[in-house]
A and B are shown apart, each in its own frame.
Chain A
Amino acid sequence: MTDTPNDLVLYGERFTSRFLLGTALYDSPAQMQEAIRAAGCEIVTLGLRRQGPAEGHGDAFFGLIRDSGCRLLPNTAGCRSAREAITLAEMSRELFDTPWIKLEVIGDDYTLHPDPFGLVEAASELVAQGFKVLPYCSDDLILCQRLIDAGCQALMPWGAPIGTGLGLNNRYALRTLRERLDVPLIIDAGLGAPSQACEAMELGFDAILLNTAVARAHNPPQMAGAFREAIDAGRRAHLAGLMERQQTASPSTPTLGQPFWHGMTQG
């Protein structure tokens, strides 16, 4: 392993884990807590749109998430307009005493496709209000640039739509984002298998945010551990430098001196 500093830096704060986990969809809070431990994550996301947060109705559940000791990253899941997302972000700042917000503005109910226009609008206002905004966005380069222009210092592009497990749906677009953008990029949503998370990390993405793939596994803590190792492997491979793919075979052991007919008689 290389000695290169390997911390994830988000808004000036350092994290050793590159695995962020969502807290929805588990069979029970106990199972969620086990998965968080197995993932070794330092940041967990949580939704509060439907909890009645202002009245404290979600406190019992939020307390169980807090018990994990992780930094809480509240999200605006379920918001369909910039205004809704801004209002919820303001409420979450008060409730959790944090300016960090994972910004979601959903444009399509069935695919949960982010609304790029609402996202830029909400991000601009929230940044102006002093929030540290991590927007959940598609892999569109121009959208990502506009979000950075709006003051976002990290982005969360999707691998594929939320909950699909399809993996890196558009490698070309994701590679372009990585090549062109100089902020931390966290692949958020759409991953179903550790191999997909590993590939994203090999491509140079900075971290992975998951929920469904872990929560819906038959054994969530075990799956969380599998993702943790895959993310670590992908990160180390990226740091180590992947070889270029070649069109022609290039033997790693010299064959000079081997009788030419040797290959012909094999199987």
Chain B
Amino acid sequence: MTSISPSSHVAIAGAGLLGRLLAWRLLRGGRRVSLFDAGDLDTPPAAAWTAAGMVAPQCETAVSEASIYAMGTFALAQWPKWLAELDAEALWHAKGSLVVAHPQDMAALNQFRRDLEHALGEQANLQALDHAGLHHLEPDLAPGLRQGLYLENEAHLDNRELLVRLLAEIRGLGGQCHAHCPVETAPGEIVTPGGRQRFDWVIDCRGTGARPRQPGLRGVRGETLHVRTSEVHLSRPVRLMHPRYQLYVVPKPGHRFVIGATQIESEDRSPMSLQSSLELGSALFTLSPAFAEARILEQGVNLRPAFHDNLPRVTQQPGLISANGLFRHGYLLAPAVASHVLARLEGDTQLPFRSILDVRPLQEVSP
């Protein structure tokens, strides 16, 4: 494998979270970078813009694949370092997360706890809270919520501010940014409507934009509600367990809250359905009735890129690396996936998280 050299020019297709992280890291390493996106860069069409920005390895392990836990704990350590380099520590909130259920749905909370303890065994780090403990942590939660679980080691970040910050850094470091420029990728080549451009390396991280050429990749619809109110204050993400759906609310700067997310096996990007709006809205209202007069700022809809096992994949040919399938775990998995891709470019033999991210052994895809 030819690894990257100091003078290498790298093209990145897709300016979502992964594309921006990789562009920034490569520019910091002194490489030349061209970043392409089919959409706008200031309000990007990326799933990362719609997402809520939780970094919750325990919660997500309980509700999805167990193998994401290691990558998620890596993210908990890596984000603060990168945010410090960006001089953006304030975007990181290591305040844990809460999981609650209404009294009639306690079975759902117990099930969550069992799933978590089964998936993580000794590593499970959770604290059962009674009414006083719960309302001590989050005084604005509805008084009817009597029990909860506190997962102290989890975090969330101000994701939109991060994406904006990364773009500013990329531009500041001399990265070439091409908005509204749909491309196709090929080994060592970016194909634009205007023609082909040669690069030393091409990294394809377009998410669902890589469909249909990326085999086995599908989109999974997710809907989020963005609201603003100064009547409620939350310090950390709160997840509501319910027999049929699990929704969460994540506090954002400026009295904003993101409530998400539905998960529907559909590649429909059309606006939010009334049913989803009711589900998200009632979940929010029951967490705290003071949300009643919150203003709805936005109804987000996007497609999570996923492979059939809902785990990310990194594939490689000479001059082309594809990283995709972060599903509902963008901010949780991006540090691990980005570190893996960067290690590949450097020609490292020890690739982090290789057993999860590799589709095939490296020698089979290298020349």
Contacts and interface: CB of A to CB of B under 8 A. Distances in A.
A44 to B, nearest CB: 14
A218 B310 CA distance: 17
Given A50-B273, A51-B265, A52-B270, A28 B218 contact: no
B218 A52 contact: no
A176 interface: no
Contact of B115 (A31, A58, A61, A218): A218
A78 B218 CA distance: 23
Interface string A92-108: 00000000000000000
B268 A163 contact: no
Interface string A53-85: 001011111001000000000000010000000
A30 interface: yes
B64 interface: yes
A40 interface: no
B244 A51 contact: no
Given A28-B310, A218-B115, A60 B65 contact: no
A51 B219 CA distance: 12
Contact of B268 (A57, A216, A218): A57
Interface in B130-152: none
Given A28-B65, A163-B243, A218-B115, A52 B268 contact: yes
Contacts of A61: 218, 265-266
Contacts of B265: 51, 58, 60-61
A118 interface: no
A27 B311 CA distance: 10
Contacts of A78: 275
A50 B219 CA distance: 14
A51 B243 contact: no
A55 B310 contact: no
Interface residues of A, number: 20
Main secondary structure of the interface of A (DSSP, over half): loop
A50 B118 CA distance: 31
Interface string A213-241: 00010100000000000000000000000
Nearest to A60: B218
A29 interface: yes
A71 B244 CA distance: 26
A197 B95 CA distance: 44
Given A27-B65, A28-B65, A163-B244, A51 B308 contact: no
Contacts of B1: none
Contacts of B244: 163
Contact of A27 (B64, B243, B264, B275): B64
A236 to B, nearest CB: 32
Interface string B311-351: 10000000000000000000000000000000000000000
A218 B120 CA distance: 12
Contacts of A216: 111
A57 B266 contact: yes
Contacts of B221: 57
Contact of A31 (B219, B306, B309): B309
Contacts of B200: none
B268 A60 contact: no
A158 to B, nearest CB: 15
**When A and B form their complex, which 5 residue pairs have the shortest distance between CB atoms, in order from nearest?**
A60-B218, A57-B268, A61-B265, A52-B268, A28-B310
Interface of A: 27-31, 33, 50-52, 55, 57-61, 64, 78, 163, 216, 218
19 contacts: A27-B65, A28-B64, A28-B65, A28-B306, A28-B309, A28-B310, A29-B309, A30-B309, A50-B264, A50-B266, A51-B266, A51-B268, A57-B266, A58-B266, A58-B267, A60-B218, A60-B219, A61-B218, A218-B118
Given A28-B64, A28-B65, A60-B219, 14 more contacts: A28-B306, A29-B309, A29-B310, A30-B308, A30-B310, A31-B309, A50-B266, A51-B265, A52-B268, A52-B270, A58-B266, A61-B266, A64-B218, A216-B111
